[in-house]
Chains A and B, each alone.
Chain A
Amino acid sequence: MTDLSPHERKESTPLEVTPLSDVDLEAHHGARTIADYAEHLLFHRRIWVLAVFCVASIFLGWHASKIGLEASFQKMIPASHPYIENYLVYEDDLRKMGNVLRIVVENTGGDIYDKDFLLTLKKINDEVFYIPGVDRGNMKSLWTPNVFWREVTVDGIVGGLVVPDDFDGTPGHVDQVRRNVSRSGTVGSLVANDHRSTVILVPLLEKDPQTGESLDYGLLSERLEQLVRDKYAAEGVRIHITGFAKIMGDLIEGVRSMALFFAVTFVLTVGLLYFYSRCWRSTASVIFCCSLAVVWQLGVVRLMGYALDPYSTLVPFLTFAIGVSHAIQNINTMVAERLGGLSSVDASKATFRLLFVPGSVALLCNVVGFSTLLVIDIGVIRELAISACVGVLVIIFTKIFLLPVIMSYTGISERGLQHRALKVGEKNKSLVRRVTGDFLSRLTERRWALGVVLTGIAILATSLYMARDLRIGDLDPGAPELRADSRYNRDVGFLSANYANSADVFVVMVKTRPDTCGTYPVTSAVDRFQAVMGEVEGVVGIQSLVTEMKGLNAALQGGNLKWYGLSRDEYISSGTLKMTRQDFYKYDCSMLSILLFLEDHKADTLTRVVAAAEAFAAANNTEHAEFLLAAGNAGIEAVTNIVVKRAERLMLFLVYGVVALLVWWEFKSWKVTTALILPLLITSILCEAIMAKLGLGVKVATLPVIVLGVGIGVDYGIYLYNRLENYLRMGMSLKDAYGETLKTTGAAIAVTAVTLALGVATWLFSDIKFQADMGLLLAIMFLWNMVGAILIIPAVLSLLLPAAVREGSPVQRAGG
């Protein structure tokens, strides 16, 4: 609802000789009183107004400058889904296997059994040890004193450190390391299958135990880059770093680079605005006010306690673009009033009066549209919604209140006025004019209209057909947040090519009574669960306490496979339990976790795993062992997919419902509502078809796109129909009315669409994949909504409106 609601028709041009009747303003009598009051307040003491805005801007600007960058895991997941609640209960216990960095040190000149390499590895190990946030006691590498080799002998199990305490780099010692590695069972986990690289496992502390401060992922990631990757690249090793914290670090890095994108958007918008207005004064005024809106938005958002995350970074772009596209109306109106002979101050007053109610109503409608996003129970989307609402609300202040005051000083340059007079006064000469005026107005003839509507429906049907391939979730390997060819995902690729386990881990938690996680009633149930899950397509490996215990029972019996299994004997089970890594169970033995390694994190795979695990849990949960979904990156993603899938439909219904209701309320006609909603619907479905074709899944990042696209896209229709209705009321035929509408507002609509599209198009180049996806889809939606509005609205109207209206006769209200 960008520009214009019915009332804005009064933004008259020289050709529009309609007197500025205040029919609608009278209908909103209360609003008018406010408008009068506000006008007086603003223009009586303009300098005071500027002073107040100045103070507010300094205050908010100071806050805006302090806004933090953030990438919070918790906010990117559907935190109140029961499965996520299960995870959150055990978050700390799962952390030691969840929030772990894997620093792979690769010897570029051979295998790891090399004196220089091992000594470099030690240096890196020590370097990492002192990076703040590292859980030093649980670090694991060839150089930490917690990595052992084990060997089964007649007497039982013997073992020792993989790298001997007194390692001095002599060939004898290097050989010893080689031998110890092969019997340590760490090949595939700590040492690569090809023995050319090795991992430093770095668990992280979410909160600093001394200061209690949360881990700063941005800083951590920076330190890793400087102190590890860059520093040791010269020493014949290559570093690969993977882990949740690194993804977060890279995301924050990506958000930081959004400043550059904003600069590009800014310059492009300035150019576009100048091209449209040919007036530096108004261009500068508009850009100033809209930039101020961005500053205010950031300031208010910070005051509300939020930071900028990779999703909410979209909002400053949107705020700027919505601000500019609305402000085009100010320029239009102002120019018209000036051409009508008013002074700059009076023209500004008139502009304010004319745009106050419609502008506010349109912006408030945007707020209502955006709030439908709140139904999605994912922190980042809610924050995006709130922050977008803030952005739109501050536009009311800077664009509706401040801009007219500023423009009362700056005014419109002569050149701008001439350009406008020329453009509007021109009598169907240029090719563009002929196309817009003649060709497009033919769309109102029934023959053509039918063709257009049928084409639209054909596009709709084709898109629906293509959108069947639309998937939920992320489809590419690696971290879906980042581009497939990003350094992070190349590092993940290296890890999965050279090490045994996949990076996609689905964790099922098993809740037990305290001290019973290793007892037979629990472990035998887990064993059966693992047998079932091991046969689910896409599960490539399973690890758990139970897997370890079964293996240990065989190992303790000389490696005899016939002993492989679980024992009912509690002396045996508690003995083997003590020998397993503690990573797999909660310290009080009241929960154990089962790691399912998956082939990929495609939605189909996740759905199969969830279904199988749910079915087993439903049939087998007892007081001994309660199987709970879900943790691990794949588990969280599976739940996110579930929530996204459910939210998608609900949100579509809501946003279309709300928008349709608002349109109906505004025009009181279901025919007009149909005409305005149909192009949006086609665009939404087309957008889904494009997503399916491009292999983009429906995910957290693409959900808001539809809402933003529809919420903002309906503005074109309102804008267009508003004007059209005005001409129809003057007694013009539909064809003539549409021709006139295109003349006066066609360019404005196009500029609005291009402004909005530009605002998000620079995102295409973001390092963060979902930002690029959002940018692409939003740009497509903004442009297509415009095309749809111009082509389809008149066609539908010509099919639906009664002949009397089509042919043109003075009727009070079109539609019905």
Chain B
Amino acid sequence: MFFFLKHSKPIGAAAVLLALAASAFATASTGFVDPLQLMARQSVKAAARLMLDVATLSDGRLVAVGEQGTIILSDDRGRSWRQAAVPVSVNLTATFFVDAASGWAAGHDGVILGTKDGGLNWVRLFDGNAVNEQIVAAAERRVRQARERSQAAAATQAAQDELDRAEDALADAEAGARFGPSRPLFGIWFKDAKQGFVAGAFGQLFHTEDGGASWRYIGDRLDNPEALHYNAIVPTPSGKIAIVGEGGRIHLSADGGQTWQRHETGYDGQLYGMLALRDADGREVFLAYGFGGRILLSRDGGLRWSQVDAGVKANIVDGFVAADGSVRLLTAGGQVFRGGSDGKPFVPAGSDGGAGVQKRIAAAIPLPDGSLVLAGMGGIHLVSTNGK
């Protein structure tokens, strides 16, 4: 409701009254239990529920997040799992830890959670209500600036156009907020225990400098007028931050998120993630992957891209660099493909991780012994690879 206060006072007051009346009416007559306000249910089969991301902590603990606020942790490499205490019951889609204690998770309805004890207990840091306030506030800021400029004596046609665009953007932002906190977050990355980013659907990007206590909407810094979705945040070896997402676009920032450069891969579908590594010559190589088995390679920091074949039509949902330095990509069907940064086709990696897995997979991480922890439909699946 706070954003109303940024209007002129009389309107703001009236709106607050209206909103209060509406919410009072709502709680009195409906009794709707909002999953955003509901502790995650303790489940006897938590590890078998839909899991969407999994992370390894520095002490080897595994933490996986999934549907209806389910967070589970394992201290025995995935054999047994226990469920964490989580203050929300919405689907969680991503998690990230900087050490054995500090971690974060993000999910549907704009939820960001934090933990200080390695994933046992979580607190809500941010949610879609705040998301909506910030996005609308940012759009209003833009309208105000554009209006000032267009009203200036030397107003150009460009200034007038910007005002139109800004007003459209505000209308979109307000429409998006109409149904409450409804936009999911998908990507999360922290540089250290203080600095972090969270990205999500409809061009959402948030930045924190205090370990998640406060978040600032910085989606307006990126060139994304269509508000396409962002799926992942990836740090590069040279210290840049990459955001990959819809429309085959990759946004890069070399200054810690202040300014962003947009790159087109030539592909216009969804990219779900990217691996950024150095090849044998020390050059930075980007391997982006996504919808329909798409793999894209760039050796020049994202300027030019070429396609890499893997002979697979399934979505590629996750990837990692294996112990031997080669790259593994994982399809939604649980198949593992092996390749490198040389542009040669990816090939199925030995005993494919999906042999026994008919479920749909969302994420994977390798364990030191070469086996894989897969997260997806049916929860956690442990599969061994042939170690190559």
Q: Which residues of A contact B (CB under 8 A)?
A: 153-154, 520-521, 524-525, 527-528, 531-532, 534-535, 557-565, 567-570, 572, 620, 622-624
Q: Contact between B269 and A558 (Cβ–Cβ < 8 Å)?
A: yes
- Closest CB in chain A relative to B289 CB, distance in Å: 13
Q: Contact between A561 and B377 (Cβ–Cβ < 8 Å)?
A: yes
Given contacts A535-B43, A624-B30, contact A562 B49 (CB under 8 A): no
Q: Contact between A531 and B68 (Cβ–Cβ < 8 Å)?
A: yes
Given contacts A620-B33, A622-B31, contact A532 B41 (CB under 8 A): yes
Q: Which residue of A lies closest to B94 (CB)?
A: A562
Q: Contact between B315 and A558 (Cβ–Cβ < 8 Å)?
A: yes
Task: Tell me, in angstroms, the Cα distance from A561 to B109 when the chains sit together.
Answer: 16
Q: Which residue of B lies closest to A525 (CB)?
A: B33
Q: Contact between B31 and A568 (Cβ–Cβ < 8 Å)?
A: no
- Closest CB in chain A relative to B109 CB, distance in Å: 7
Give chain A residues whose Cβ lies under 8 Å from the Cβ of B184: 562-563, 565
Give chain B residues whose Cβ lies under 8 Å from the Cβ of A563: 184
Given contacts A531-B68, A558-B270, contact A622 B93 (CB under 8 A): no
Q: Which residues of B contact A (CB under 8 A)?
A: 29-35, 41, 43-45, 49-50, 52, 67-68, 89-91, 93-94, 108-109, 179-182, 184, 186, 229, 231, 268-270, 272, 291-292, 315, 317, 332, 360-362, 376-377
Q: Contact between A564 and B91 (Cβ–Cβ < 8 Å)?
A: yes
Q: Which of A532, A535, A557, A568 contacts B180 (CB 8 A)?
A: A568
Given contacts A559-B315, A565-B108, A568-B181, contact A531 B43 (CB under 8 A): yes
- Closest CB in chain A relative to B291 CB, distance in Å: 5
Given contacts A528-B68, A562-B362, contact A535 B44 (CB under 8 A): yes
Inter-chain CB contacts under 8 Å: number: 93
- Closest CB in chain A relative to B42 CB, distance in Å: 11
Q: Which residue of A lies closest to B359 (CB)?
A: A561
For A153, A564, A623, the residue with the greatest tally of chain B CB atoms inside 10 Å of its CB is A564
Task: Tell me, in angstroms, the Cα distance from A324 to B120 when the chains sit together.
Answer: 78
Q: Contact between B45 and A154 (Cβ–Cβ < 8 Å)?
A: no
Q: Contact between B30 and A524 (Cβ–Cβ < 8 Å)?
A: no
Q: Contact between B31 and A624 (Cβ–Cβ < 8 Å)?
A: yes
Q: Contact between B33 and A622 (Cβ–Cβ < 8 Å)?
A: yes
Task: Tell me, in angstroms, the Cα distance from A557 to B183 when the chains sit together.
Answer: 13
Given contacts A154-B292, A569-B182, contact A561 B52 (CB under 8 A): yes
Given contacts A562-B52, A565-B108, A567-B182, contact A622 B315 (CB under 8 A): no
Give chain B residues whose Cβ lies under 8 Å from the Cβ of A528: 33, 35, 41, 68, 89
Task: Tell me, in angstroms, the Cα distance from A92 to B376 when the chains sit together.
Answer: 38
Of the A-B pairs whose beta carbons lie under 8 Å apart in the complex, a sample of 8, sorted by A's number, is A154-B270, A531-B67, A557-B229, A559-B332, A560-B315, A568-B109, A570-B179, A622-B31
- Closest CB in chain A relative to B154 CB, distance in Å: 41
For the complex of A and B, list the 8 residue pairs with the smallest distance between their C-beta atoms, beginning with the closest.
Answer: A568-B182, A622-B31, A521-B32, A561-B362, A154-B269, A562-B93, A569-B182, A565-B91
- Closest CB in chain A relative to B47 CB, distance in Å: 12
- Closest CB in chain A relative to B360 CB, distance in Å: 6
Q: Could you list 11 further interchain pairs (A-B, Cβ under 8 angstroms) beyond the known A524-B35, A558-B315?
A: A153-B292, A154-B268, A524-B33, A528-B41, A531-B41, A532-B41, A559-B332, A561-B52, A565-B90, A567-B179, A569-B179
Q: Contact between A565 and B67 (Cβ–Cβ < 8 Å)?
A: yes
For B33, B34, B89, B94, the residue with the greatest tally of chain A CB atoms inside 10 Å of its CB is B33
Give chain B residues whose Cβ lies under 8 Å from the Cβ of A521: 30, 32
Task: Tell me, in angstroms, the Cα distance from A477 to B136 when the chains sit together.
Answer: 59
Give chain A residues whose Cβ lies under 8 Å from the Cβ of B180: 568
Task: Tell me, in angstroms, the Cα distance from A246 to B387 when the chains sit together.
Answer: 55
Task: Tell me, in angstroms, the Cα distance from A488 to B347 when the chains sit together.
Answer: 50
For A527, A535, A558, A572, the residue with the greatest tally of chain B CB atoms inside 10 Å of its CB is A558
- Closest CB in chain B relative to A453 CB, distance in Å: 52
For A524, A572, A622, A624, the residue with the greatest tally of chain B CB atoms inside 10 Å of its CB is A524
- Closest CB in chain A relative to B273 CB, distance in Å: 11
Give chain A residues whose Cβ lies under 8 Å from the Cβ of B91: 562, 564-565
- Closest CB in chain A relative to B82 CB, distance in Å: 16
- Closest CB in chain B relative to A596 CB, distance in Å: 16
Give chain B residues whose Cβ lies under 8 Å from the Cβ of A524: 33-35
- Closest CB in chain B relative to A521 CB, distance in Å: 4
Give chain A residues whose Cβ lies under 8 Å from the Cβ of B35: 524, 528
- Closest CB in chain B relative to A154 CB, distance in Å: 4
Task: Tell me, in angstroms, the Cα distance from A520 to B180 when the chains sit together.
Answer: 11
Task: Tell me, in angstroms, the Cα distance from A154 to B291 when the chains sit together.
Answer: 8
Give chain A residues whose Cβ lies under 8 Å from the Cβ of B45: 534-535
Given contacts A568-B181, A622-B31, contact A561 B376 (CB under 8 A): yes
Q: Contact between B43 and A623 (Cβ–Cβ < 8 Å)?
A: no
Q: Which residue of A lies closest to B201 (CB)?
A: A563
Give chain B residues whose Cβ lies under 8 Å from the Cβ of A565: 67, 90-91, 108, 184
Q: Contact between A623 and B29 (Cβ–Cβ < 8 Å)?
A: yes
- Closest CB in chain A relative to B189 CB, distance in Å: 16
Q: Contact between B32 and A561 (Cβ–Cβ < 8 Å)?
A: no
Task: Tell me, in angstroms, the Cα distance from A525 to B180 when the chains sit together.
Answer: 17
